[in-house]
């Protein structure tokens, strides 16, 4: 039985032949009786991201958290975890773009603007960073 997913799941068409990592943003159950069964209805060709849960390095999460705290001028003891949403910390779109610039500098990568602006959590950023680093070294 197909499980319909909430709006946090989307699919992205990949044209490159490099290994693609998928990471789930909301680990709600998408498996039914041990069978993975996904069904999507795309009403129109919207670029989307498909994400399935994966592990990112703790080190990446920590570096991202540091940069986020710096950009938003948060206290050192402000709790920022992988699941923390930028908006919960008071970040607006200008903050998000500045965070992305900070991440690009720190990790030596370049993010496409559309993907950069869609980053919602620390985990999300870490996944994208590791994916880009992998693509770079592939």
Partner 1 sequence: MRISVMSQMQRSFSIDLPSLIPLQLPSHEVKSTSLLKRYSQLLSPIEKDGVDQMRGDELKKNALLARTLVRTTISRYQTNKEVDPRSLMFKKNVYGKPEVDWQNCNNQPLHFNISHTDSLIACGVTVHVPVGIDVEDKERKIKHDVLAFAKRFYSADEVNVLATILDPEVQRKEFIKLWTLKEAYVKALGKGFSAAPFNTFTIQSMPGTEGAYNLCKTSEVTADPPEETKKCNGGWKFALFDLADSHYAAVCTEDDQANEGAPTKIIVRKTIPFVEDQLISERIFL
88 binds partner 1 (CB under 8 A): yes
21 binds partner 1 (CB under 8 A): no
Catalytic residue list contains 92: yes
Residues 6+ apart with CB under 8 A from 84: 65, 68, 121, 122
Of 13, 17, 36, 46, the residue at the interface with partner 1 (CB under 8 A) is 46
3-state secondary structure of 100: helix
Q: Which helix (H) or strand (E) holds 118?
A: helix 113-118
**Rounded to 5°, angle at Cα 69 from 67 and 70:** 65
Q: Is the dihedral of CA 59, 65, 71, 77 positive or negative?
A: negative
113 binds partner 1 (CB under 8 A): yes
3-state secondary structure of 91: coil
93 binds partner 1 (CB under 8 A): yes
Q: Which among 13-21, 52-60, 110-118, 125-133 is the span making contact with partner 1, rule CB under 8 A?
A: 110-118
List contacts with partner 1 (CB under 8 A).
7, 43-44, 46-47, 70-71, 78-79, 84-85, 88-90, 92-94, 97-98, 101-102, 113-114, 117-118
Supply the residues annotated as catalytic.
92
């Amino acid at each position: 039985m197909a499980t319909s997913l909430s709006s946090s799941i989307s699919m992205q068409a990949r044209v490159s032949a490099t290994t693609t990592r998928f990471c789930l943003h909301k680990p709600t159950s998408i498996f039914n009786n041990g069978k993975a069964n996904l069904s999507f209805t795309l009403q129109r060709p919207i670029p989307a991201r498909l994400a399935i849960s994966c592990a990112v390095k703790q080190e990446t999460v920590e570096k991202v958290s540091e940069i986020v705290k710096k950009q938003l001028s948060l206290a050192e003891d402000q709790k920022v975890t992988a699941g923390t949403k930028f908006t919960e910390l008071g970040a607006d779109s200008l903050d998000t773009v500045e965070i992305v610039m900070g991440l690009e500098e720190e990790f030596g990568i370049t993010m496409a603007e559309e993907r950069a602006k869609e980053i919602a959590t620390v985990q999300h950023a870490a996944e994208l960073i590791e994916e880009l680093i992998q693509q770079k070294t592939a």
